[in-house]
Structure 1
């Protein structure tokens, strides 16, 4: 097959090389290029270049291979088209390379009139890279730096506000690194409001993005002004914290109690940064934040109470059974004069610990069943009782197994000690299952609640903004008491 034959096109205008690229086979593509080195320049169906096809399907290796062979032949429209295709297909490395070769791409717009920043703002997962700085963040930094260098202030605002508002799209999806990068270089962005007169912090509260909300603790006295802002329906930030988050931000796996606990943590955290008088303000419907919380979370309170009572009932049943069994076994405690003196002491201590732990667990679960299910009890008292009851129940189950196997080990003849060892291993399977099925989920929920509580308290160590910029953030006009009087971009 000569070089002309390998460049033949099918009825759709595609060459064999284009089809090899579309299938993701770099090896086949390179074999074909040995017959005709110009194949990367042949356009396929609808005039698409092989480079565009590789970018469209997200084949990073092939796209990087074709880029230096193709870029000189691309016109301006194709160049921009491929750049945006790389970003849409998560080929941020190649997109960064194209931007480095042509910085004008920072202001380019796609067929939807979006800039690259608009697209990156909607991709929070692209910035999640623990080991090192993500390529998407490097691309964002380069684009933003170029925009600030090339455009005057008014045009910068127009670019990030059209066709959609970049900041608020990023805040809605929780794109924390993206927002930090933009605000770090342009601190006055914290004053921007959307069509409903909400800042990014209001949007973060509404969508329950703790890391973005936590940034409010880093803007100094500007925080006290921003929390006074009201939206078009006279809702302040605490009203937004009192409403249920959007459906996609609600975690159905947590269970009623922990969902309610999570919501209470948010409400109390926002309330702490509000002036007391603003916490009692009414919105256009005549409701205070507390009224809104009670109305919108009524079903969650019922679900939380039912879940808590059901969990306590089953937990108390198990702990009572353990208590009865160990109580009866305590009358047959091993005498210290047995041949295996140390093991007999361990056995007696295990019985004592089991009895104490199961009794505490029973009392905790009973206390839950007789508790008053008020709002603040769901925040502190009830979770503490539930955690204490489950932890002591786990201890009781573990020490009960130790006591059972210890007694079995002592009672068996010397030649059958392996039976006790095998039984010891087998009887701990239920304990392991209990930990994996119940305690793992519980500890996960505890971790989530603890982390969110810590983050919302302002203890997160992000330090996204320099403290020396706080003076420029706090730009106030003649009336410092009215949130609407502050400078808003």
Structure 2
């Protein structure tokens, strides 16, 4: 009872060191020296609850002159005090990327480079993660941290080295990571200090710079494709084309950086996967390769799948904790590149579509599920999103064995039932989007019909009192007016009827695949034509009435007539192109250009 009543010793009171703490942060050496002279212990004692000493705080302040004077007052073995996390002042200097402060400490005591903190991390690990993202700081620590220092641990070996490699990958220093892997090949055969991360995992999880077509706009994709092809060709006749493409790439700094990272990470990936060839299945699984494989599949990083499969072919038959293979995951996450890769490989197509997960879901069940939101948002408009989902369902249905087309999962639902249930809200949103678009365009088409019809019966200049014929009948401009006005009437009337047809459609699921998009394409195309013809007719009328023998009037009118046409085209043309591309384009299920797995 007496023992339980004993009180814990009081915590140290660090408030008296607060003025010194502020002085060190301000790098005021004169005032700091007064404190040190009054109490010599303060230069070595912890100054706060985190057990940081004057050296730790000076490393945070980052003033090289202050640190130089402070280090001069201490012995070599006194330069390695530990804070609450076991970090030395050199850890802090490395984390801040301060080379000058780090050099002062290393010059006095190089053993600081080989002291790890409570997490097993050396200063070089913090240099890679430095707050400045300074590559110079990393290069400095790589240059001074040796792997053969007598009596010192090797920061580049085993899990410690993997942690360093993972950090380089996470911060996208792929060139340095590649140099590290080449120098220390065993790093590809271990996990990091925490045991849950390998270099392959880091590549997948580092917002991977293996370029995906969805991360680039049209021109970036074109430049990247052309430059990549040109660089792989040594034929002299295309030398000028190579120079032109490289010039275009240099003008687009973003694609240049992405291309550089892309080539570096592909080389790194190939190097790491080559090391898997020397491991057995147990060792491969212990490297969390299974996790990296499925993460890469969900992110649609097909080069990763290709390299892993070439290094260890059995990996493509792995299943996750729900019994799903890479085809299931690719379909569920709408990873079209991985899907095309699997479909282009006869060996995989003979086995993977036959598998079901632990809940009796087959491949078509996964196609029936609603796509992840970030995949849906790659297509604008709920109707086009619904179309893309139907395209996926139709494409997966082609490769699904017939015995599974109507099979039920654990919830007693067929793939079609799952599709209808999962896409109910998207279908309603697509119907609303279609009707709203058609309504807006119907109003425009109706207005054009009204205007051009009225213009047809009230021709410019009026009619002759003698024979009732239009006064300007013999003018070429009148002929242009008549033809363009009639064309505008016919196209706008067609557009109006098509949009009315859209409004009265039944909006069944399958209508979103071809019927509704086709009608919208026709309606938009004829509406654009009607506006163009209407502007031509109007311009011809103005010229007939006001611009006889005055070409300046025609030029001014033509310029102003281009405004509504240009505005409408700029606003609606992207939608028109998206509709045509999605409905009649080559599509996303294209196995050309995707290398097959090698066995």
- Using the size of structure 1 for normalisation, the TM-score is 0.81
Instruction: Establish whether residue 159 from structure 1 lines up as the match of residue 287 from structure 2.
Output: yes
Superposed, 1:353-368 pairs within 5 Å as 353-368=487-502
Shift of 1:431: 2.6
Counterparts in 2 of 1:374 and 1:395: CA distance versus 1, 3 Å: same
Counterparts in 2 of 1:417 and 1:119: CA distance versus 1, 3 Å: same
- Report if the CA contact (8 A) 1:51-1:67 is conserved: no
Shift of 1:213: 0.9
- Using the size of structure 2 for normalisation, the TM-score is 0.67
Shift of 1:421: 2.7
Counterparts in 2 of 1:337 and 1:125: CA distance versus 1, 3 Å: farther
Distance 2:438 2:485 in 1: 24
Distance 1:194 1:86 in 2: 28
Superposed, 1:330-479 pairs within 5 Å as 330-333=456-459, 341-413=475-547, 417-444=551-578, 446-447=580-581, 454-456=587-589, 458-466=590-598, 469=599
Instruction: Establish whether residue 76 from structure 1 lines up as the match of residue 154 from structure 2.
Output: yes
Match of 1:290 among 416, 421, 430: 416
Q: Match of 1:142?
A: 271
Distance 2:173 2:182 in 1: 15
Secondary structure, aligned partner of 1:281: coil
Secondary structure, aligned partner of 2:277: helix
Distance 1:404 1:382 in 2: 33
Distance 2:564 2:344 in 1: 48
Deviations 1:259-283 (A, max 9, x none): 1111111111111112222101111
- Report if the CA contact (8 A) 2:517-2:583 is conserved: no
Q: Match of 1:483?
A: none
Q: Match of 1:477?
A: none
Shift of 1:94: 1.0
Shift of 1:10: 6.0
- Report if the CA contact (8 A) 1:64-1:94 is conserved: no
Distance 1:310 1:66 in 2: 61
- Report if the CA contact (8 A) 2:97-2:127 is conserved: no
Instruction: Establish whether residue 127 from structure 1 lines up as the match of residue 210 from structure 2.
Output: yes
> Which structure is higher in RCO with an 8 Å CA cutoff and minimum separation 6?
1
Distance 1:345 1:37 in 2: 90
Distance 2:179 2:576 in 1: 46
Unaligned runs of 5+ in 1: 1-7, 470-489
Counterparts in 2 of 1:81 and 1:286: CA distance versus 1, 3 Å: closer
Instruction: Establish whether residue 262 from structure 1 lines up as the match of residue 340 from structure 2.
Output: no
- Report if the CA contact (8 A) 1:122-1:173 is conserved: no
Counterparts in 2 of 1:224 and 1:278: CA distance versus 1, 3 Å: farther
Q: Match of 2:183?
A: 101
Shift of 1:373: 1.5
Distance 2:97 2:571 in 1: 42
Q: Match of 1:91?
A: 173
Secondary structure, aligned partner of 2:361: coil
Distance 1:48 1:340 in 2: 92
Secondary structure, aligned partner of 1:391: helix
Distance 2:107 2:387 in 1: 64
Distance 2:172 2:298 in 1: 20
Shift of 1:359: 1.5
Distance 1:122 1:87 in 2: 9
More moved, 400-409 vs 258-267: 400-409
Secondary structure, aligned partner of 1:126: coil
Secondary structure, aligned partner of 1:286: coil
Deviations 1:287-328 (A, max 9, x none): 111111111111222221222122112211111111121112
Distance 2:194 2:360 in 1: 33
- Report if the CA contact (8 A) 1:123-1:175 is conserved: no
- Report if the CA contact (8 A) 1:60-1:91 is conserved: no
Match of 1:325 among 451, 463, 475: 451
Unaligned runs of 5+ in 2: 1-53, 65-89, 213-223, 229-261, 461-468
Counterparts in 2 of 1:102 and 1:140: CA distance versus 1, 3 Å: same
Instruction: Establish whether residue 112 from structure 1 lines up as the match of residue 194 from structure 2.
Output: yes
More moved, 266-275 vs 301-310: 301-310
Shift of 1:59: 3.2
- Report if the CA contact (8 A) 1:319-1:359 is conserved: yes
- Report if the CA contact (8 A) 1:55-1:63 is conserved: no
- Report if the CA contact (8 A) 2:445-2:496 is conserved: yes
More moved, 51-60 vs 276-285: 51-60
Distance 1:439 1:251 in 2: 19
Q: Match of 1:198?
A: 324
Counterparts in 2 of 1:125 and 1:419: CA distance versus 1, 3 Å: farther
Superposed, 1:156-235 pairs within 5 Å as 156-161=284-289, 165-220=291-346, 222-235=348-361
Counterparts in 2 of 1:410 and 1:382: CA distance versus 1, 3 Å: same
- Report if the CA contact (8 A) 2:162-2:193 is conserved: no
Distance 1:400 1:430 in 2: 11
